Structure 1
Amino acid sequence: MEPAAGLPAPRSLWIDSAPAPARADRDLPTEADVVVIGAGIAGLTTAYLLAREGRSVLVLEAKELAAGVSGHTTAKLSAQHALKYAGLERAKGREAAMRYAETQHAAVDWIAKTSTELGIDCDFARRDSFVYTTDEDRLDELKAEADAAARAGLPASFTDDIGLAAPAVGAVRFTGQAQFHPRRWLLGLADEIERLGGRIAQHAPAQAVTEWPTLSVRTPRGRVRTDHVVVTTHYPILDRGLFFARLDPVRDLVVAGPVPVERMPAGMYLDAVTHHSVRGYDSATEPIAVVGGEHYRTGENLDVEGRYRELATWARDLLGLRITHRWSAHDMSTPDSVPYVGRYHPLTARVWVATGFGQWGMTGGTAAGQLLRDLILDDENPAAPLYDPNRAHLRSAPEVVKDNVAVARHLVGDHVRALRTPAELDQLPAGEATVTRVGAKMTAAYRAPDGELHAVSARCTHLGCLVTFNNAEQTWDCACHGSRFGTDGTVIQGPATRPLRRLNEGPDD
C-alpha cells in the first residue's frame, strides 16, 4: 500500500538525522562480567554505568543501535507521566509516589549533567511540561494531580495558561523538564562505553540464555560466559518470567516536520483526554514540531494509515506542520503502571530485566539503568521494592485479567474471522494483504506494489495467535503480546524470536 496522500513513507526523524557507525563485524569475547541484551536507552545506560565502575561489559543488539523503541519516540525527558501521581498515591501510598518521582526526576538531571561532562551534543534543552484539558469537567482531576505531584516533591502546579493554541481550560505544569535528540545521546553514550573498554555488537542477537550450571548467552557468533545478564529488549525475550501475561502492548503514532517560527511550541504538551502530544525541536536549520497520539493496541485490526491521516490533520490545524517524517512508538504498560526493573524471576540472582515503561521510556529507561547498576553492584537503592518485577499487588489483578481476556479474544476471534474470509491469493491486488486459510495452513499474504506475493504462516511464533496487517508500515503485528514481523516473516519486534514460516516451508504448527 502506498503512503497516504501528503504523508511520507514511515521513517524516524531521530534515525534519519543521526546515522550510526557500523558495529556488525565486532568480535565477541568468550566471557564478560556483564552481558546486556538490547542497545536502547535502558541497556546503554546500564552498560555505561557498569563500565564506569570497571566492569567488563558486552552489549548485544539484534539490529542497529538505538534504532528500535529508543529511536522511535517523542523524546520528552520529564517526570510528568500524564496524570500519574494522584493515582499512584492512592494505589501505593505517598512514599511510593515520592520514590517514583525521585527516580524519574533524577533521570532528567543525570542526562543533563552527563551530556555536559562527556561533551555529547544531543540538543538537550530545558522545557516546561504540561498536561492540559479542554474539558471543564476534568479540572478537579488535574488540580488533584498537581497537588499529588507537589507532595511527591516535584515542581508541579495548576495553571490555566499553557502558551499553546489549543483551547485548554487548565493544566498541570511541571517546570524545568527537558527534551533532546535521543539517538545522538545514545550514540555518544555508546562511544563512551567503548572508550571505557566495553564492547558493542550490532546484528548480534541473543539466541538463548542458560542459567545453570554456568550463566551464558548464546549468539550466532558463539557463546559468552558471564556473571550477569541484563535483558533490556523492551519486550523481554525470555518467557521464563511470564512477562507476556503482565504487559500490555500499545503503539503511538508520531508525525514531525517544520512549523512557522511563530507557532513553534514553547513547551511540551499532552492532552489529558485525547493523549495528543506536542513538543518542539530546535534543529540546526529550522524549527520542527513533533506530534504524537492516536494510540492503539498493537495488532488491532484497524486502519492505521487512516489514524496517521487524522493525526496529521490535527497537527496541521494546530501548528501549520509540514510533515517530513512519521513513525510509530511501541510501548509496554504494566498493570499497576510502574515499570518492572530488577530480578528476571524469583529464583535468579544474576539475570535482570527492565521493561514496561508505559510511554515514558526516556526517563524510565534511564532510571532503570541507574537502579540496575545498584542492584548488580549490591548497592542499596530504596526504590528497588517499588520497581521489583516479582512484586505482587492485589489491586493489579483486574488489569491482568483484562489484558489476558484481550489475548484470549484475539486468539479465538482472529481465527474465526480468518476462516470466514477465504481469499484466492492469485486474485489479491497489489498493495493489499489478507489473513486466510490456504489448504491446512493459516496464511498471511501480502502482494507488493511490484506484484510479488509474500505468503507466510499467520501464526505468531511466540504463542500462536494470528497476526494482522499494519497498512501504514507494511508489517504483520500480533495483538496478543505485541510481536511484529516484516512481510517476508522476519522478526521486527519481540517477544517472538523466530520468523514467520514462509509458505511451503513446512507444517503450520
Structure 2
Amino acid sequence: MTTATNSIDRDGYHQSVWQVQSPLALSAPVPGDAVYDCLIVGGGITGLTAALLLQQDGKKTILTEAHTIGFGSTGGTSAHINTFADTTFLEAESAFGEEGAKQFAQAIKEGFQQIKTNIEQLAINCDYEDKVAYLYAEDKDEAKQLDDIYNGAIKVGVEVSRATTVPTTVSYVQALKFDGQAQFHPIKYLQALQKGYAAAGGIILENTLVESLSQEDDIHIARAGNVSIKAKKVIYATHLPPGINVFNFKCAPYRSYVMAVKLISGDYPDDLIYDMQEPYHYIRSHQIDGQQLLIVGGLDHKTGHEDPEKAFADLEKYIRQYYDVSAVKFRWSSQYYVPVDGLPYIGQMPLAAAGVYCATGYNGNGMMLGSVAARILADMVSGNESPYEKLFNPSRVKPVDSFTEFVKENADVAYHFVADRFGLNQLESLQQIEKGSGKLVEVEGKKIAAYCDEEGIIHALNPTCTHAGCVVNWNAEEKSWDCPCHGARYGIDGKVLTGPTTIDLQKIDNG
C-alpha cells in the first residue's frame, strides 16, 4: 500500500488516494470573547462551503473541526459528481410527489453548479473533469429497475439516453448514458475553499471538538475543552448531529469500500461506470502524482456490521475478475448516512434552540447534496428564503411508504442493546489477542474492548458506546471500534473518530 509521511489525517487506518496530499497549515487567531454571526461545526464540504458563502456575504463566522480539514467523509469519498442520486427520482416522487421529485433533481443540479462556481471564482486546480456516466443492468430484473430510473429522470428533466455500448468487459443487457457528469480531487478542492475562507476573514479552529452547546440571551455558547465560542447562529455540518436526537432513528450509518489499483495494460476507462448490483459497484480513473489509477468502490454495509476484511477481499476479487491488476495502491473505507425516506434533512434542527441548523442523510451523494445543503443553510442563517426548506425540512413528517424502511434500519439497534450484553460468546483471555488486533473479551465477568499493539501492550477500553450505550465492534481493517447502532467510531486509544458521540470510550487500567 502507498503511504505518505506528510499527508492528511483521516478517520481510519487506511489512507484514501486523496489524502496523500500535504495538509494545509493556516494560522488562526484565538476567538476571544467575540460574538460571531455563525459558528460552523465541521470542516468537510458542507461546513467549508457554508462558511465561505457566509463570509463572502459579509457575515463574521468561525469554523471548528474536531480533527483536521479533510479528515472525514469528504476525504474518503470516491468524488463522483452526478445529476442523479442513489434515491431514484421515481422513489422521490412516490414519497414526495411529482413536484418534490423535480425539486430534488433541481437541488442536485444546484449542488453540482455550486462546486463549478467555486472552482471558477477561486480558480481552483482540483483535477475537475467533465465526464459521461454509464449505468448498466446485468439481468432482466435490473433492466426493469433501469427503466424506472430512465423514466424518472426524463420526468424531472434530467438528461439521459439509452446506451448501446458501455466501456466495460462485464456482460450487460441494457444501459443508460448520462452526459454532463464530472469528477474531481476532493482534498484539493477542500483546501482551496479553506484558503478562500481564510482570505475572506474566516477563522478555522482545527482539533477543536465541540462538546456542548447552550444558550444565554439568544446567544449560543459552544464549549470545546477550554475554548468557549459565542455565536448568533450555529450550523452542525458534522455528517450527523451530535448527541441523542431524532436522526439516530431517521438515518442509518453505512460504510463503503474503495480501492485504487494500477493496471498492467494501462487501459483505463475515461468515464464513470456503475452497475445495478445490491450493493452496486462504481468505477472511474484518476491520475495521482503522475500515476494513473483505477478507482473502484462498493460492498457497502451498515457500520459495525459484517466483516470489513471480507468486504475488501470481495471487492478486490471483483476488480481482478474484470481488470488486469498489477498492484493495489490504496484501499480505504468511508462513512455515509442513508435517510429513511430517501431525501436529506437540511434546516432547523428539531428540538434544538432556534437558530441551530443541521444537514445530514446525504446517502452516497455527499458532494452534490453537501454543496446544496451549504447554500440552503447559508440562506437560512442570512434570513433569506430557500425553495428547498420545506422539502428537506428535518422536522418533516415521514411518508407512510418509508415506514417499512424505518423498521428495517432500526430493528437491529434494539437487538444490539440486548444481545451485545448477554450474548458475547468470545470469552477470550487478553493473552490470546494477536499483536495489531482487537477483540471484545471478558475478564472477571467484565466485557472489555481490548487492542494489542505491536509491542504486545494491551489497550483496554469500556466497550459501551458513549452515545447511546450500545456495545462497539472491532473493525480490523480501519483499526477502530465501531458502534453498530448509530455509527459512532473510536480509535484504539478510545478517542472519538466520528460522531454522533463527543465523548471518548473510557480507558480501563489493566495494571
TM-score (norm 1): 0.93
1:363-391 deviations in Å (ceiling 9; x for gaps) = 11001001111111222221111111110
Could you tell me which residue of structure 1 aligns to residue 30 of structure 2? 27
Does residue 412 of structure 1 match 2:418? yes
Could you tell me which residue of structure 1 aligns to residue 9 of structure 2? none
Could you tell me which residue of structure 2 aligns to residue 269 of structure 1? 273
- Match for 2:410: what amino acid? N
Paired residues of 1:23 and 1:201 also in contact (CA < 8 A): no
Does residue 282 of structure 1 match 2:299? no
Does residue 495 of structure 1 match 2:500? yes
Paired residues of 1:23 and 1:202 also in contact (CA < 8 A): no
After TM superposition, give the deviation of residue 55 of structure 1 in Å: 0.3
Of residues 95-104 and 209-218 in structure 1, the stretch that sits farther from structure 2 once superposed is 209-218
1:157-194 deviations in Å (ceiling 9; x for gaps) = 23242222222222232210110000100100010011
* 3-state SS of paired residue (1:345): coil
Paired residues of 1:83 and 1:272 also in contact (CA < 8 A): no
Equivalent residue pairs, number: 496
CA–CA separation in structure 2 for the residues paired with 1:202 and 1:405: 37
Could you tell me which residue of structure 2 aligns to residue 63 of structure 1? 67
- Match for 1:345: what amino acid? P
1:134-175 deviations in Å (ceiling 9; x for gaps) = 112321221221121121111122324222222222223221
CA–CA separation in structure 2 for the residues paired with 1:228 and 1:356: 21
After TM superposition, give the deviation of residue 26 of structure 1 in Å: 4.3
Could you tell me which residue of structure 1 aligns to residue 48 of structure 2? 44
After TM superposition, give the deviation of residue 253 of structure 1 in Å: 0.6
Paired residues of 1:139 and 1:170 also in contact (CA < 8 A): yes
Could you tell me which residue of structure 1 aligns to residue 406 of structure 2? 400
* 3-state SS of paired residue (1:211): strand
Could you tell me which residue of structure 1 aligns to residue 127 of structure 2? 123
CA–CA separation in structure 1 for the residues paired with 2:309 and 2:257: 10
* 3-state SS of paired residue (2:22): coil
CA–CA separation in structure 2 for the residues paired with 1:222 and 1:283: 38
Pairs within 5 Å for 1:59-138: 59-82=63-86, 84-138=88-142
Could you tell me which residue of structure 2 aligns to residue 180 of structure 1? 184
CA–CA separation in structure 1 for the residues paired with 2:449 and 2:28: 34
Does residue 230 of structure 1 match 2:214? no
After TM superposition, give the deviation of residue 311 of structure 1 in Å: 0.7
Paired residues of 2:81 and 2:181 also in contact (CA < 8 A): yes
After TM superposition, give the deviation of residue 262 of structure 1 in Å: 5.1
After TM superposition, give the deviation of residue 28 of structure 1 in Å: 2.2
Paired residues of 2:460 and 2:509 also in contact (CA < 8 A): no
- Match for 1:400: what amino acid? F
Does residue 428 of structure 1 match 2:433? yes
Does residue 200 of structure 1 match 2:211? no
* 3-state SS of paired residue (1:251): strand
Does residue 337 of structure 1 match 2:350? no
Could you tell me which residue of structure 1 aligns to residue 375 of structure 2? 370
- Match for 1:21: what amino acid? L
Could you tell me which residue of structure 2 aligns to residue 6 of structure 1? none
Could you tell me which residue of structure 2 aligns to residue 156 of structure 1? 160
Pairs within 5 Å for 1:298-337: 298-300=303-305, 302-321=306-325, 322-337=327-342
1:249 to 253, 276, 280: 253
Could you tell me which residue of structure 1 aligns to residue 482 of structure 2? 477
1:32-61 deviations in Å (ceiling 9; x for gaps) = 111000000000110011111000110100
- Match for 1:340: what amino acid? Y
CA–CA separation in structure 1 for the residues paired with 2:343 and 2:510: 42
Q: Give ranges in structure 2 of 5+ residues lacking alignment.
A: 4-12
After TM superposition, give the deviation of residue 13 of structure 1 in Å: 0.9
CA–CA separation in structure 1 for the residues paired with 2:273 and 2:131: 10
After TM superposition, give the deviation of residue 24 of structure 1 in Å: 7.5
Of residues 199-208 and 398-407 in structure 1, the stretch that sits farther from structure 2 once superposed is 398-407
Paired residues of 1:161 and 1:170 also in contact (CA < 8 A): no
After TM superposition, give the deviation of residue 315 of structure 1 in Å: 1.6
Cα gap change, 1:26 to 1:167, in 2 (>3 Å): farther
CA–CA separation in structure 1 for the residues paired with 2:243 and 2:384: 26
Aligned residues: CA RMSD? 2.1
TM-score (norm 2): 0.93
Cα gap change, 1:330 to 1:202, in 2 (>3 Å): same
1:247-284 deviations in Å (ceiling 9; x for gaps) = 10010111013335653122112211141110111345
Of residues 187-196 and 497-506 in structure 1, the stretch that sits farther from structure 2 once superposed is 497-506
After TM superposition, give the deviation of residue 346 of structure 1 in Å: 5.0
* 3-state SS of paired residue (2:328): coil
1:331-362 deviations in Å (ceiling 9; x for gaps) = 10110110110001156430000111111101
Paired residues of 1:143 and 1:158 also in contact (CA < 8 A): no
Cα gap change, 1:505 to 1:337, in 2 (>3 Å): farther
After TM superposition, give the deviation of residue 296 of structure 1 in Å: 1.0
After TM superposition, give the deviation of residue 23 of structure 1 in Å: 4.7
